[in-house]
Amino acid sequence: MPTPLTILFQDDVLIAIDKPAGMLVHRTKLDAYATRFAMQTLRDQIGERVWPIHRLDKPTSGILVFGRSREAARQLSSIFEERRIEKGYRAVVRGWTDPQDTINYPLKEVLDKTTDRKAQQDKPAQEALTRFTTVAQCEVDAPVGRYDTARYSLVDVQPITGRKNQIRRHFKHIFHPILGDRKFGDRAHNSFFRDTLGVERMLLAAISLSFEHPVTGAALRIEADSGFPSAVSSLFQESKEIQ
């Protein structure tokens, strides 16, 4: 029996789950070997069809919202597309980040050879903005890469725009890649977390969504725990929060 998905919020209009890391939102040609998908699993769990509103990368965990009708999905999609929503993420990155900053770096869309064959191939880079605040930092007495010790930062992240892989690409751009990111990360530090801490997942999680309910107009905030392994949390337990 598959493990049920954690439902964070539900009413007659929408339902939000805590998607596990490593689970696709829905079936795709990009991963022909995947066997479990958030949309289909939720449908079977609650016994009704649901419509996806947005996406999370397969290795990212956290809040994922579905409409419970086609019309609800249309209304919710408008909220996301018009940026009438605040998204919050938490991540562990390599190195010590600034206390807070905004990454302003346009991103050129990365097209997939299989699913984006009909898409415009020469699109210019699009505006991309990501804000972050450093929550805590730690230093591990272990040689990783070319340094005698390894430094890491726990950051809260707010993407202002929503480009593909934006958070992952932006932190790579500022030389603070996300731990466990096999595509944009640092192989040596990923290996250290896997071999030393037993952590194989990417340490990026969608932990909050705030928006206006499409029907009632009430302010709605949905929250989730990062879901990071305790071995990761323990790294930052003795470190002081950044002021």
| Residues noted as catalytic | 57
Strand (E) or helix (H) holding 41:
helix 38-46
Residues 168 and 204 sit within 8 Å (Cβ to Cβ): yes
Give exposure, 112-150, as e/b (b: 16+ Cβ within 10 Å): eeeeeeeeeeeeeeeebbbebebbbbbeeeeebeeeeeb
Distances (CA, A) of 173 to 81, 93, 103, 125, 167: 25, 12, 9, 14, 10
110: exposed, middle or buried (C-beta count within 10 Å: 0-12, 13-18, 19+)? exposed
Given a contact cutoff of 8 angstroms between Cβ atoms, the answer to whether 229 and 105 are in contact is no
What one-character DSSP code corresponds to residue 54? S
Question: Burial of 47 by CB count in 10 Å (0-12 exposed, 13-18 middle, 19+ buried)?
Answer: exposed
Check if the beta carbon of residue 50 is closer than 8 Å to that of residue 37.
no
CB count, 10 Å around CB of 76?
25
Entry field: residues in the chain: 243
- DSSP 8-state code for residue 157: E
